[in-house]
Structure 1
């Protein structure tokens, strides 16, 4: 009887322990977000060395694009000076702001003209002296063969603007603009490089960031063959600024895929979609790529915005919005955890990690949390 009683007690204890573990594993606690008041609508984030730069849109101000810096408990408003020769600079919306601890390079855009095409503005400066807009000729970013611009980057060899332009042969090429002197920007010729589209392969970039001495550009390639059209997630990388471009199709692309954004240190994590579902890839220091497995099923399409993935030590965090509900997906040791959110809600636009805190633009507001 004593043996039976002891066995029963052990069994009961094991069942209780298992139930507790299952409950803890199946229902992770939600992520609590706290709203950060920055005085206007946040539209883009960037960080360096513990400094968080928040690009703002103040619809009621004389100069719409604004910039603030959050450095610990300190807050500084950066002077943003549009040139009087460029009227669209007053109403520009930030698309991308790059910062390397010293230099600032920013890309703004405002709809204008008879067809409401985006009128691009380029800005440079420092946190101390502020951002100054440098007017460009119409042909620099506009005209019948104009494409889109999407990213400003700063590498150790200099800054660049990334986008697309009417192809040398067909379609659109991926394009790079480099500065000439202090104020002029010049589009570089992509002919006979991996950035050029051909009759059998169309190049489609969507986001760029710095990778070491060079640039990582993510997007998709469309392969054209008789009776075959295949869109595959792809990346392009340079060895140094605009030199030595190469192209790579990302593995396991499914029937239709696109890389949308990326975060790089010495290696990269890339996020996008495959067949309408969230997908992530890792690019190691040697240039080999793999697709992460068992990614939670989250619908992602062409018009959806994904913040860049967050890399925190041995874990990867991807923030998404599903039906305007913010979800935090964490990958560690080959497994995923999905957490709901409290506080933050709405469409997500950008996210960064700095000084152990995550900052997120969601629902046209800035939020912060410390991930457990």
Structure 2
């Protein structure tokens, strides 16, 4: 089973214990999506990612990021025997790419696939994982970029990301204070905090308002740095209910948190990704049978537009959300296929965008985005091949 598959199972198992059937089965009939319109058609330009060292294999792309004139694309390489190793690429112009050296320091680190990347001041930090051990748990490592440009595995105790209270490690964010990971433990949502060198992450477990309590069971998906600290997003399963309500948490330091539960309806709702658009937080997640956006306005959160609709038997999810200027770009899977959407009004309305590669839903398939100025990049992996493309504008 893949790392992401195991993580999804952990999440669903935790929700079953809490009396909920989890995000695999949100009820339908929640609102209406943005009216159908012809898909926008950017002029996609294919880019070449050089083969990483270590022998033949299929490149796997899982995430991308950009900051301070640097671009990063990360993932791994799968060989013919089913083995994996970490791989990452970088660029100074978004067009010509080079392989980043990777220096692993553990048995599982040498088999990691990079799943999340963030960057600050032109330097990257990453989360990688590999399923292994007697119980088949994801063995999570964090990585940091050192002075010579190499990605170096950060040593951590097993209990930092694993152990008897582990559920999952979700995503990594960068900010002025350093780095923040959000994820979940048996006590509910949790965070991991690091200084700017990304040399060590401290687990914050059971924090009041972030963790589950008598009000409900919490789950965190993503976070973003703000002018006042950090903002995390996810959902809360209220006591006595079987559907989540969207929730956000704010923190000055990643350690102490204040919870805000957004007004929810009878449908299943949760926030899965968050970015800043002109300094305004905008989140995208599930709203019943469709995808929905929420944004912060005048110290309160409001519902914005919806798009797409659940299809097929797979788990619907938001796989990527990025912004540039006033535009939002989202990649989602509706349970049957991956699709890409754009909004020019902070999530109020959405248009689908044609992608350069058709990616069905399923294990080891992914679409991720990054945007800078009037250009944006799409990396896709359909389970048999992967590629990277860029476009100027969103097309017509």
Q: TM-score under structure 2 normalisation? A: 0.75
* 1:174 Cα deviation after fit: 2.2
Given the superposition, is the C-alpha separation of residues 250 and 68 from structure 1 closer, same or farther in structure 2, using an over 3 Å criterion?
Answer: same
Match of 2:26 in 1: none
Match of 1:46 in 2: 65
CA distance in 1, matches of 2:108, 2:100: 20
Given the superposition, is the C-alpha separation of residues 219 and 159 from structure 1 closer, same or farther in structure 2, using an over 3 Å criterion?
Answer: same
* 1:357 Cα deviation after fit: 1.4
Farther off after superposition, 40-49 or 58-67: 58-67
Match of 2:269 in 1: 257
Matched, 1:174 2:190: yes
Unmatched segments (≥5 aa) in structure 1: 1-24
Q: Over the residues paired in the alignment, what is the CA RMSD in angstroms?
A: 3.0
Match of 1:71 in 2: 92
CA distance in 1, matches of 2:329, 2:200: 38
Of 204, 223, 246, the residue aligned with 1:188 is 204
Of 357, 361, 367, the residue aligned with 1:349 is 367
Matched, 1:275 2:262: no
Given the superposition, is the C-alpha separation of residues 223 and 52 from structure 1 closer, same or farther in structure 2, using an over 3 Å criterion?
Answer: same
Of 333, 341, 360, the residue aligned with 1:328 is 341
Given the superposition, is the C-alpha separation of residues 198 and 131 from structure 1 closer, same or farther in structure 2, using an over 3 Å criterion?
Answer: same
Of 153, 169, 182, the residue aligned with 1:133 is 153
Instruction: Please give the residue correspondences for 1:1-372 in structure 2 after superposition, counting only pairs within 5 Å.
Output: 27=38, 29-39=40-50, 40-60=59-79, 64-72=85-93, 73-83=95-105, 86-126=106-146, 128-167=148-187, 172-178=188-194, 183-191=199-207, 193-225=208-240, 228-243=241-256, 245-264=257-276, 266-284=279-297, 286-293=298-305, 295-299=306-310, 303-321=315-333, 323-324=336-337, 326-332=339-345, 336=349, 338-341=351-354, 343-347=356-360, 348-362=366-380, 363=382, 364-370=386-392, 371-372=394-395
* 1:131 Cα deviation after fit: 1.4
Given the superposition, is the C-alpha separation of residues 341 and 297 from structure 1 closer, same or farther in structure 2, using an over 3 Å criterion?
Answer: closer
* 1:318 Cα deviation after fit: 3.0
CA distance in 2, matches of 1:368, 1:111: 32
1:147-180 superposed Cα distances (whole Å, 9 cap, x missing partner): 211122222122233222222xxxx342334469
1:154-213 superposed Cα distances (whole Å, 9 cap, x missing partner): 22122233222222xxxx34233446997443322434x221211331111112222234
CA distance in 1, matches of 2:285, 2:376: 20
* 1:94 Cα deviation after fit: 1.1
8 Å Cα contact 2:327-2:342 kept in structure 1: no
* 1:90 Cα deviation after fit: 0.6
CA distance in 2, matches of 1:209, 1:104: 15
8 Å Cα contact 2:172-2:181 kept in structure 1: yes
8 Å Cα contact 2:68-2:122 kept in structure 1: no
Unmatched segments (≥5 aa) in structure 2: 1-35, 51-58, 361-365
8 Å Cα contact 2:40-2:351 kept in structure 1: no
CA distance in 2, matches of 1:82, 1:201: 40
Given the superposition, is the C-alpha separation of residues 42 and 331 from structure 1 closer, same or farther in structure 2, using an over 3 Å criterion?
Answer: same
1:199-247 superposed Cα distances (whole Å, 9 cap, x missing partner): 331111112222234222111101003xx4441111112123434x111
Greater length-normalized contact order (CA 8 Å, ≥ 6 residues apart): 2
